[in-house]
Structures are given as structure tokens and as C-alpha cells.
Structure 1
Amino acid sequence: MRNQISIVFLLQLLLFSCSGTISTVKKEYTLNTSLKLKSDWRINSKEWILKNDTIIGTGSPSEWGVLESKKKLPKNYEIEFKANMTKESLFEVMLNLEKGNYIRTYLYQIDQNIVIGKGVYDKNSNEYGKRGGKSLFNKPIELQNNKWYSVKIKVQNNQLLFSVDNKTSLECSLENKNLSQTGKLGFITNGEVKIIDLKIKTI
């Protein structure tokens, strides 16, 4: 009996270590080395770097800087980090990116809103209509450059919660809005953004 329990435990460990997701039940994912950035994410080193525990992304209004994870997000997950938009107006978190579709969760300075939307992403094109997409929900928030914001995103039982500084939040049902329910994680900037304390965990 004891041997059977040990075998089951070892199989579970093996499954978690070989998991196709960026985070597992047993382990909270953090990004803290340049080696991890290169091995876990699809990057253009001219757009995204890791410097002194800070992930720095650069892009432009005509050519967005995109960072995309190589592994899928778990079915239910929580993402936390701090972000600082040092240049331009848009910082976006791509959720459940799969087959060119994703959920847009972003901070938008021009409209002074946080937004949930339905996005499309063609990694081979910067043309209008092939990146980004329509907004579904938004809420006013005062946003400015060179200020740190605490971002929390939670997806559980197909319900999405997106909050900034624990005081401005949006919620929606993935099913009701026909939003992508599985896929990878990504980040987009149309200027420069700094990210620290990134944590991704299975819930």
C-alpha cells in the first residue's frame, strides 16, 4: 500500500514538472532571470529585456512591442505584478492567447480607463485590424506616466476579474462574451513599460 502511494505521488510530481502550463498547483511562477525570459517566452530582444529584476518592454504606436509566453495559462489562475508606463499611452495584458484570439485587459491613458476587450493578434503583421480589437467593458481611472500601478487578474470558473491598485476593477463572464477560455499569456506596449514582481499561480 505504501509503495502504491509513493508511485502515485511520484507520478503527480512528474506530471506537474512536465506541465504544459506556465504555472502549476505546486508552484507559483516568477520571472527573475534573463535565462528564464529566453527559455519561457517568445521575445524580440530589441523589444523586451530583463534588467535588475525589471522586465522592460519597448514599442511604438506603429509597431507594438509584444512578449508571449511559450506555455499556456492554467484553466484557473491569478496573475499579479506592478507596471509603470514610462512612455506613450497603452499597456496591455493578453490573456488566453490562442489561434490569434485573446482577451484584452489593458490600461489606456488616452481615455483614462482600464478595459476588458476581445482581441486579435497576428504576430507577422502590425497592420491596423491585425492587433488589438474592440472594447467590451471599461471603467474610469486616473492613469499617468512614470507611476507604478498594482495589477491583479484572476480567472476562475470562466469568470474574469481585472483590478488596478485594489480599488478599480472590472468583471465579466468569458462564456457570455464568447471570450477565449484557454491559451497563453502576453504583454503589449506601444511605448515603454516596466514590470516588476510578476507572479502567476494556479488556483
Structure 2
Amino acid sequence: MKTKFTAILLLQLLLISCSGTISTLKKEYSFNTSSSLKSNWNFNPKEWALEKDTLTGTGGPMHWGVIESRKQLPENYEINFRVNMTKESLFEVMLNLDKEKYIRTYLYQINQNIVIGDGVYDKKDDSYGKRGGKSLFTKPMELQNNKWYSVKIRVQNNQLYFSVDNKITLECSLEKSNLSQKGKLGFITNGETKITDLTIKTL
């Protein structure tokens, strides 16, 4: 009986890991149906839509498309997903979004860099200085439209690791860089971006 229960539990965990779900031990993030997207995320439905297992965001140079989770990120976590910037030049992951402050981890085609930065986001104001922010750490990487990239982000013991395709990596101390140490998760695009295979786990 115990063996049967263990087998059922392992099967459930396998099914969860293969779904298009942002999942923690408490299953706080979901991403696999339109209804779960609406209940767990704040977004403009004209800017973000879920079709099958792919989330597509649309924005512009003067108004970035933003989607923001309603749940707090764990203290220590790992995020994995694949992303495709089909139009324009910027895709950004908002980490530890707390009030108007967050950590910028992003792919930037214009400068051909991946970046960690200190960000601000005012929901009601698209003007310069009310969104985005300064770059703290950059590393060159060839980036282009209509290409899928694998992104891994890990925050553990106040240390941030950000890597793309397991070959270009940036890291920093949240405390030493005076970066936000708690908050929510979000995504930004200034064109059109597709996200799939998104998972998050508590470390």
C-alpha cells in the first residue's frame, strides 16, 4: 500500500513538472489556463494572452506591455523558461517587485547584452524615469528576433544568478548592490514576446 501511494505521488509530481505551470511547493503560481492567468496575474488582456502553453505579450516603445503576479516570490527560488522576442528589442523579467522597485534582468538587442539592473515601475506613468532604470551588470550576447532562448534565474541566500542558454551568466549580491530582496514576479516587453515552459521552484 505504501509503495502504491508513493508511485501515485511521484506520478502527480511528474505531471505537474511537465505542464505549463509556474509552481512552487504551495502551487502559488499558475499559468496553464486563461482562468488561472486572470486569477493569479494582473495584466491588460489587450497586451497579454495565453494560447495553449504560450504566453504572448505586446507592447511598444512608448508603452511597455507588463504582466505582474499577484503572489509573492519565495525567499529562495529558481525560475526557468524559454523566450522569443518576435518583434522589437527588449524583454525584461521583473524580480522582487515591491511597490515601485524591482530587479531588472533582461535581454536587450540594441546593445546586444544581457543585463542586471535596478528598476522602477510606476503603473500610471510611462514617462522617462518612471519605468526601467540603470544597468548594474552587463555581458555581451548575440541576440536576435524570432529565436528561442532558454533563461534561468536563481535567487538563493541573497545571491542572484541570471543565465541565458547556459552559456552567458551574470551574478551579483542583492545586499551589496542594494537591490530588492522580496516581492513579486513580472514580465515586460516593448514589442512582441512569447514565453513558454515557465516553471518556478522554491529552493
Taking structure 2 as the reference length, the TM-score comes to: 0.87
The one-letter amino acid of 1:133's match is G
Tell me the residue number matched to 1:80: 80
Query: SS at 1:104's partner residue?
Result: strand
Change (3 A) 1:27 1:37: closer
- Alignment-derived partner of residue 181 in structure 2: 181
1:148 aligns with 2:148: yes
Q: Provide the rounded CA distance (Å) in 2 between the counterparts of 1:23 and 1:81.
A: 12
AA of the residue aligned to 1:170: L
How many residue pairs get matched? Answer: 182
Which stretches in structure 2 are left out of the alignment for 5+ residues?
Answer: 1-21
Aligned residues with identical type, % of pairs? 75
Q: Which amino acid aligns with 1:141?
A: M
- The equivalences for 1:103-114 within 5 A come to 103-114=103-114
Q: Return the offset for 1:29.
A: 4.6
In the alignment, residue 114 of structure 2 is paired with which amino acid? Answer: I
Find out whether 1:95 has 2:100 as its counterpart.
no
Letter in 1 for 2:134: K
Question: Is the 2:72–2:183 Cα contact (8 Å) retained in structure 1?
Answer: yes
Q: Is the 8 A contact 1:73 1:183 kept in 2?
A: yes
Please name the residue that 2:136 is paired with: 136
Answer yes or no: is 1:49 the counterpart of 2:49. Answer: yes
Over 2 Å off, 4+ runs = 22-30
Aligned-pair RMSD on alpha carbons? Answer: 1.3
CA contact (8 A) 2:80 2:199 kept: yes
- Measure, in 2, the Cα distance between the counterparts of 1:37 and 1:26: 17
Residue pair 1:115, 1:137 contacting (<8 A) in 2 also: yes
Asked if residue 123 in structure 1 is aligned to residue 134 in structure 2, the reply is no
AA matched with 1:55: L
Q: Aligned partners of 1:86 and 1:113: how far apart in 2?
A: 17
Counterpart residue number, 1:63 = 63
Shift of 1:28: 8.3
TM-score, normalising length from structure 1?
Answer: 0.87
Q: Deviations over 1:70-109 (max 9, x none)?
A: 0110000000000000000000000000010000000000
Aligned to 1:163: 163
Instruction: Measure the CA separation in 1 of the matches of 2:62 and 2:49.
Output: 20
Uncovered stretches (5+) of structure 1, i.e. residues with no partner: 1-21
SS of residue matched to 2:35? helix
